[in-house]
Amino acid sequence: MKLNSYEKWKNSATSLADGLVQASNLEEAKSLLEKILLVNPGEHLARTHLLQIYPQLKLEENFKSESLFLSFMASREGKAQDSFNLLEPVLKLYPDNLAIKIKMANLAAKIQEKEKSSDLYYSIGEYYLSRNFSRQALNAFSQAVSLNPDRLECYYKILVLEPENKKISFTLAQALINQKKLQEAVSVIRDQISAFLKTNIEDALTAAEEWFKLLQKNQLFNQVSLEKEHLAKTLFAENQKDKAVVLLEQIAEEELKANHFERYLSLWQQTLDYYLSQNNLEKIISGYQKLILAAWANHPEKGKASMEEFIKQMLQREQILKLDDALQKIAAAAESKGSKQFGEIAMIRLAEIYVSLYKLQEAIKIYKQIIEKGSQSPKIHLSLAELYIKEENPILAFESYMKSAELYAGAGEIQRAEEIFKTLSLKKSNDPSLLSRIGNIYYTIGDWNKALENFQKALEQDPYYRQAVIGMAMTYAKKGMLNEMAALARRLVAKGVIAEIIEEYKKALMVTKGESETALALGLLYKDLDFMEEAILEFQKASKNKSYFLQSSTQLGLCFNRQGFHDLAIRQFRKILEHSEYSEEELLEIQYNLARTYEDVKMFKEAHDLYSEILVVDIGYKDISTRLKNLANPGSSGKVVSFPTDLSGGGKKV
C-alpha cells in the first residue's frame, strides 16, 4: 500500500474509531484500532486509544500488554516519568506482579521519587521474604532503606535476615533515639548483643562498648548505667561471671562518682554476693573495705551496718588476723580522708571483737592505739580501765578511770564523772593523789567550791602534797582570794615549786585580765612572797598604763623601801605627787609613805612637815599624832629606829 494511501486510510480509520468510541461502540472501535496496529505495530496513537478502551471492555491482559509495550518504548526514548506513569495503573490491576514492581522501583529511583521507590523495594522484599528467598529479600530491603533511611521497618526486616548486622542495628537504634523511641532502640541492641553472646563473647563486648558510646553521644548517661547492669546480668546468665562482676564494679564506681549512692550500694552488694558465693577471701576483704568507706562517707548508719556484715562474714570464716588487718586499714583510710570519728569506731569494734574472744591483751593494745591518736572519748578510757581490772593491774586501771572521769566532766557529763569518783573513793578514800585529781577535774569545769573541798581533803592527808597545794592556790586565784593564795605560795617556797604555781597563776590571770592588770596582780604576789626584783619589774610594766599608774607606782616606792633603796623610794613618791589625778584619800596615803621614808633616812624636818600637812586634813589619820610627838622629842622611847616591812597596811610599829 502506498504511503499516501496508508496515511489516508489510517486517518480515516482513526477518526472512525473515535466516532465509534463516542457512540460507545467499543468493540468495533477496538477491532478497527487493532487492524491499524497489524498494518503498523508502531502506531502510537492507536495504542493510546486502545489503552482507554481495554479497561472499559475489562480486557485486563490486553491493557497490561499495551501498557508494558508503551512503557518499554517510553523508557527507550529516555522518558522515565512517562514509562513509570504507564505502569502505575497496571500495578493496581496486578499488585503482586513482581516484574512490574521491579521495573517501577527502578524508574521511581531514576525520577527521584525516592519514597515511592523505597515503598516498591520494601514490597519486593516482602514478596521474596514470604517465599524464603532470603538473599533477594535482603537486597530489596537494603535498597529500600538506602532510599529512605527513616523507614524503620526495613531495618527490622534486615535484622530478621541478618541478626548480627551491627551496622544496621546501630543505624536503627540511632533512628529510634532520634524519634524519642529509646526503649525500642534498647530492645534492638540488647537482642543483637544476646545474639553475639551465643557465638563470640568478644564481639558481644565490642558491640556493647559501641552501644555505650552511642548512648553517651546522645547524652543518655543514666541509660548507659542501666545497659551496663543489664549486660552484667546477661553475662551472669551466660556463665561469664568473672567478666560480669568486673563490669558491675566498674558501674558501681561510676555511680559513686555521680553521687548516686543508693544505686552504688545495690551494684556493689551484687559483686560482694558473687565473691561470697565463690569464697574469694581477697575480693571479699577488698570489696567490703571499699563498700564500708563509701557508705560511711554518704550514709554513716549504712557504713556501720556494712562493717557489721563484714565482721560477721570474717568471723564465720575464722579469719581473725585478716579481719584485724582489714579494720585497721579501714580506720587508717577513714582518718586520711578526714573522718577520724569513723576510724575510731572501726578500731573500737576491733577491740570489742578481741574482748569477745577473751584476747584481752590484744584489746588493750587496740585501745591504747586509739588513745595515742588523740581520742577524747571517755568510754574508751573506761573500757580500758575495765580491761586492766580483769588483767589485775590496779595502777593502770586507776589512771584510766581518772582519765575517763576527766573527759566526762569536760564534756559536761558531771554525773558520770562523779559515779567514777564514788567508785574509786570506796577503794582509795584517803589517797591524796585521788582527791587532788578529783579537785583538778572540778577546777577544770569551774566548780571552785568542790575543787577546794577535794584539795583540802588531800592536804589533810599530806599538808605538802604538791598537786593539791598548786590546785588549791590556783582555785583561790580564780576566786580572787589573793591572801589565801599567797599563804599557800609561802608553803610552796619550801618545796621548790613556787615558780610553777606563779606560772600557773599568771596563765589564769591572763585568761580574764588584761596585760597591765595581770602585771599588777603578779607584782603584788611577788611582793608578798618577798621576790622584790620580780615585783618591781611587774609594777613597772603596770605603771605604763594610766589606769594603773597610781597603784603600781605606790607599790614600786614600797618595794624600793623594803630593799633599802630609800633615795629611789623618795624619788618615786615625789613623782607620784606630781600626778594630778588622785583623790584626797590617795594623796594622804602618798604623803604618809613619803614621810615615813624621810623619817627612816633621818630627814626629820621633811617628815615633820608632811605629817603636819596630813594632820591638818585628818587629825586621826593612822599613827601620825604619835609620830609627830616622837619627832618633837627625839629621846622618846617610842622613836622608830628601823624601816617597817610594809607601809601600806597602816601604822604598825616594829
Taking residues 451-476, what's their average pLDDT?
A: 83
Taking residues 399-403, what's their average pLDDT?
A: 85
Of 542 and 53, the one with more pLDDT: 542
pLDDT computed for residue 65 by the predictor: 76
pLDDT computed for residue 645 by the predictor: 35
pLDDT computed for residue 353 by the predictor: 92
pLDDT computed for residue 304 by the predictor: 92
Q: Please enumerate, as own/partner, the contacts of 401-409 that have beta carbons within 8 Å and a separation of 24 or more.
A: 402/434, 402/437, 403/378, 404/378, 404/379, 405/378, 405/438, 405/441, 406/378, 406/437, 406/440, 406/441, 406/444, 407/376, 407/377, 407/378, 407/381, 408/378, 409/441, 409/442, 409/444, 409/445
Q: Is the pLDDT of residue 309 over 90?
A: yes
pLDDT computed for residue 493 by the predictor: 60
The HSE-up count of residue 416 (CA atoms within 13 Å, CB side) is 16
pLDDT computed for residue 650 by the predictor: 36
Length of the chain: 654
What's the grid cell of residue 93? 490491576
Provide the pLDDT confidence category of residue 320 given band limits of 50, 70 and 90.
Answer: very high
pLDDT computed for residue 647 by the predictor: 42
Q: Is the pLDDT of residue 329 over 90?
A: yes
**For 254-281, what is each residue's pLDDT tens digit?**
888 888 888 888 888 888 888 898 899 9
Taking residues 393-412, what's their average pLDDT?
A: 85
Provide the pLDDT confidence category of residue 646 given band limits of 50, 70 and 90.
Answer: very low
Taking residues 467-483, what's their average pLDDT?
A: 77
Q: What is the value of pTM for the model shown?
A: 0.55
Q: What is the CA radius of gyration of the chain?
A: 57
The whole-angstrom separation of Cα 57 and Cα 108 is: 30
Locus of grid cell 584485724: 324
Taking residues 90-105, what's their average pLDDT?
A: 81
Taking residues 116-137, what's their average pLDDT?
A: 86
The whole-angstrom separation of Cα 595 and Cα 598 is: 5
Q: Is the pLDDT of residue 1 over 50?
A: no
Range with the poorest average pLDDT among 69-73, 154-158, 348-352, 539-543? 69-73
Of 45 and 437, the one with more pLDDT: 437
The whole-angstrom separation of Cα 383 and Cα 351 is: 10
pLDDT computed for residue 316 by the predictor: 92
Q: Is the pLDDT of residue 168 over 50?
A: yes
Locus of grid cell 613619803: 594
How does DSSP assign 83-119, residue by residue? HHHHHHHHHHH-TT-HHHHHHHHHHHHHTT-HHHHHH
**For 171-180, what is each residue's pLDDT tens digit?**
888 888 888 8
pLDDT computed for residue 634 by the predictor: 63
Q: Which whole-number Å values give the CA distances from 315 to 207, 303, 602, in the listed order?
A: 43, 18, 95
The whole-angstrom separation of Cα 177 and Cα 167 is: 15
**For 616-629, what is each residue's pLDDT tens digit?**
888 888 888 888 88
pLDDT computed for residue 632 by the predictor: 80
pLDDT computed for residue 305 by the predictor: 92
pLDDT computed for residue 281 by the predictor: 92
pLDDT computed for residue 511 by the predictor: 61
Cβ neighbours for 499, distance < 8 A, ≥ 6 positions apart: none
Domains of the chain as residue ranges with CATH: 555-654 (1.25.40.10)
Q: Is the pLDDT of residue 156 over 50?
A: yes
pLDDT computed for residue 326 by the predictor: 92
pLDDT computed for residue 494 by the predictor: 52
What's the grid cell of residue 98? 513482581
pLDDT computed for residue 559 by the predictor: 92
Is residue 621 helix, strand or coil? coil
What mean pLDDT value characterizes the chain?
81
Q: Is the pLDDT of residue 202 over 80?
A: yes
Q: Is the pLDDT of residue 308 over 90?
A: yes
